[in-house]
Structure 1
Amino acid sequence: MTETEEENRAQQILDARRDRRQIACSKPEELSIEAAYRISRRIRDLRTEEGERVIGRKLGFTNRTIWDEYQVHAPIWGYMYDRTFHEVSSVETRFSLAPFCEPRIEPEIAFGFSRAPRIGESEDELLGKIAWYAHGFEIVDSLYKDWKFKAADTVAAFGLHGAYLCGPRRQMTDEDAAMLRSALQRFQIEILRDGETLDIGHGSNVLGSPLSALRHAIEVITNDPGADPISAGEIVTTGTVTRALPVKPGETWSTMVSGLPLDGLQITLT
């Protein structure tokens, strides 16, 4: 793609989000992963010009058990904004799906950084820079009909990010850090729709653990010359523990978390 074509694609994606309509994927030869990340950064600039503020990153396709389903075989990342991040309580919360085209729901672990992480740090060093962690729901949305796309299309279109509903934060302590080294591999999240269990996912699904996913993202983002490294104060969500499940208004979704000192959540969709 030429620079003009990338600019036009960025505006087309933003217009589709605003108008809540789906668009065609790019032809495979038209859009490389590198071009998709340039489009993502241009969209970031346009969104910040409109008053949004980047507060972190979202990781996608870190769950290797769903790669074949979407024909995407490597993780991606995108930006997360103050207008897409919502603090919620562990009791029932109502959330509107009105802004989205074809939404799905994903239970994920999020981390908040007190200091900027660096490439190549050990798990202990990385945990020492995390201020808090939490469990939340990401609402992911596809601008491409029936969730049929190539990896580059998902990168360009916000990394599929629609919203993140962040449950109560647990402040990191020395005891938490020691526990998380192994617990993040073994914990599980059960996801329920209207009280019926639809899937159970484990921390090991997420590139071995959410901490491994985090280290991978730090490396990829740091090695991208066009991307700003993750900084102090940023929030990073680490990808779905279960399958991404379709949602519609009127449903109540909940989770039960085992193996981590985090409360489950309950979200009623409107």
Structure 2
Amino acid sequence: MTPQAVLDHYDQGLLWPADRPLPIAADLDAAYQQALALRALRAARGERAVGYKIGFTNRTIWPRYEVYAPIWGTVWNTTLTRSSGGTGEASLDRLCQPRLEPEIVFGMAATPPRDATLEDLFGCIAWLAPGFEIVQSHLPGWKFSAADTVADGGLHARLLIGRETPVGHFATSAHALDELLGCTRVRLHRGDEFVEEGKGANVLDGPLHALHHFNHELQRCTGAPALMPGDVVTTGTWTDAWPLEPGQSWRAEFDAPFDSLGITLR
């Protein structure tokens, strides 16, 4: 499938055809080049890249999806919603097999240097916020290779970001922020029903480590744009990804001092 064919299926919310070539890309490096071609198509029609998502950072769910390393994709102005009031809405229209992921989002203040350390990255972060990423897969039953997920836009569909709190409110060093995030837990609810508990350490030992891994991978990817001031980076789900239906309400209750976040689906 060409990047244009992938984009057509994305726009229509359709599964990829059953007779598509397998795999869609020979390996992850080839898949990222396809993803960058897809990114160029979206930019050419007026969409604006506003950051990145990191996927499959949660090692506890690798065996369920048979993807055993993180991947990344682009977040767009057309897929991002901000809410400072602790709750927001999202449409599932034209999404394909959507699922929900609670996570922590970073806002970047500066471009990280090459081979940045955790402390370097800490100095490049402006704020943290709770987030819900809605992911989707255009392959039946969420069965895919890692390369498929990259070519499929990193599985990204929507991102809701809650209140953005300056990083200094949480910590004054990378070590302190890393420890805090690693031990923080989230309790995910669908309506009044408790669904699952997760913790920050699930995502490569903590969201700051996920950002560190992503920065390295982005810098080694030929043709990939650098992280820029103002970019958002969502660092991976703390729980499994849960199937969604219109009319549902979900809430992620993070330990203090992190805010909680709710979302209503339509």
Q: Fold match, TM over 0.5?
A: yes
Moved more, 139-148 or 179-188: 179-188
- Structure 1: segments with no counterpart, 5+ residues: 1-7
CA 1:91–1:109: 2 relative to 1, 3 Å: closer
Match of 2:99 in 1: 104
Q: Return the offset for 1:59.
A: 0.2
Paired residue secondary structure (1:189): strand
Match of 2:4 in 1: 11
Q: Return the offset for 1:172.
A: 2.1
Query: For the residues of structure 1 that align with 2:196 and 2:215, how far apart are their CA atoms?
Result: 29
Paired residue secondary structure (2:26): coil
- Structure 2: segments with no counterpart, 5+ residues: none
Query: For the residues of structure 2 that align with 1:209 and 1:225, how far apart are their CA atoms?
Result: 27
Query: For the residues of structure 1 that align with 2:105 and 2:236, how far apart are their CA atoms?
Result: 9
Query: For the residues of structure 2 that align with 1:13 and 1:94, how far apart are their CA atoms?
Result: 26
Q: Among 14, 29, 36, which residue is 2:31 paired with?
A: 36
Match of 1:94 in 2: 89
Query: For the residues of structure 2 that align with 1:97 and 1:89, how far apart are their CA atoms?
Result: 21
Q: Among 236, 240, 244, which residue is 2:237 paired with?
A: 240
Q: Return the offset for 1:99.
A: 2.4
Match of 1:130 in 2: 125
One-letter amino acid of the counterpart of residue 15, structure 1: D
Q: Return the offset for 1:145.
A: 1.1
TM-score with structure 1 setting the length = 0.92
Q: Return the offset for 1:121.
A: 2.6
In percent, how many aligned pairs have the same letter? 40
Query: For the residues of structure 2 that align with 1:69 and 1:107, how far apart are their CA atoms?
Result: 18
Paired residue secondary structure (2:172): helix
Alignment of 1:1-270 (within 5 A): 9-24=2-17, 26-28=21-23, 31-173=26-168, 176-178=171-173, 179-258=176-255, 260-270=256-266
Q: Return the offset for 1:101.
A: 1.4
TM-score with structure 2 setting the length = 0.94
Query: For the residues of structure 1 that align with 2:264 and 2:188, how far apart are their CA atoms?
Result: 13
Contact kept in structure 2, 1:102 and 1:141, CA below 8 Å: yes
When the two chains are superposed, the root-mean-square deviation of aligned CA atoms in Å is 1.6
